Amino acid sequence: MTKKRELSKEKVLNKAMDIAENEGLNLLTFQKLSQSLNIKPPSLYNYFRNLDELKITIGSIFFNRLEAVLYENLLGLSGKNAIKVFCSTIRNYSLKHPKLAMVILIVPQYEHQSIIYQSSLKIIKMFEQLLSFTGRPKPELLMLSRSIRSAVLGFILLELSGYFENKMANKDDSFKTMLDINLSPLP
């Protein structure tokens, strides 16, 4: 008599997260996932409608975990210091999860109602809340938020892609300098 496999959505998701974390979300396939779980690919449809739904779920988990780390690191902080900690936390979290962090690039392709979009939006709203100490009008606050986020995410994506290898300038010092320049207009 064969022993029945005990597979659950949680086990499938954990294995998918492992693959995405180690190889990249773009290399995650149902074929690869089913092989690592020792099952046939069609069995995965019992847990996720398609690969896209699985990737959206993984991306959402990435952002939710990042949000929790941000709340923990920002507790009791405000002003420019909170902005620096926010940006540094996102960088450090992305460097700790480099393959998964590339999920940042796929968020815009999903509908605004999707869980991945909503999860990333919570982080943006948190950042805008931190910037509110400046007292600037909403349109100006939005432009300021976009400017700083673009610089930070651009730096992170370039760093994760293998740029900034010149030993003349330390990556951490470069990040700090980039932040100081972008935050210099703030009070």
Q: In this structure, what CATH number is given to the domain that contains residue 32?
A: 1.10.10.60
111 and 33 within one domain: no
- List the CATH number of the domain containing 156: 1.10.357.10
Contact yes or no for 164/174 (Cβ under 8 A): yes
Is the entire prediction scored with pTM above 0.85? yes
* Statement to judge: residues 85 and 165 lie in one domain: yes
Specify whether 85 is located in the same domain as 158: yes
List the domain range (segments joined by +) for residue 141: 60-183
Q: Which of 155, 150, 141 is nearest to 186 (CA)?
A: 141
Per-residue model confidence (pLDDT) at position 110: 80
- Residue 146 belongs to a domain: yes
Both 160 and 139 in one domain: the answer is yes
Q: Do 42 and 99 lie in a common domain?
A: no
Residue among 93, 115, 99 nearest 18 (CA):
99
The answer as to whether 141 is a domain residue is yes
Phi-psi region of 90 (alpha: psi -120 to 50; beta: other; left: phi over 0): alpha
| Helix count and strand count (H, E) for the chain | 8, 0
Residues 38-78: pLDDT tens digits?
Answer: 999 999 999 999 999 999 999 999 999 999 999 999 999 99
Shared-domain flag, residues 73 and 39: no
Instruction: Assess if residue 79 is contained within a domain.
Output: yes
Looking at the fold, whether 120 and 158 belong to one and the same domain comes out as: yes
Whats the size of the chain, residue-wise? 187
Q: Evaluate whether residue 90 is within a structural domain.
A: yes
Query: Does 90 share its domain with 22?
Result: no
Count of structural domains within the chain:
2
Ranges of residues in the chain whose predicted pLDDT is under 50: 1-4
Is-contact 85 74, C-beta < 8 A?
Answer: yes
Residue 104 and residue 15 share a domain: no
1 is a domain residue: no
* pLDDT recorded at residue 2: 44
Both 73 and 158 in a single domain? yes
Q: What is the pLDDT of residue 3?
A: 44
Half-sphere exposure of 98 (CA within 13 A, CB side): 10
On whether residue 165 sits in a domain, the answer given is yes
pLDDT at 131 (0 to 100): 94
* Average pLDDT value for the chain: 92
Residues 30 and 66 in one domain: no
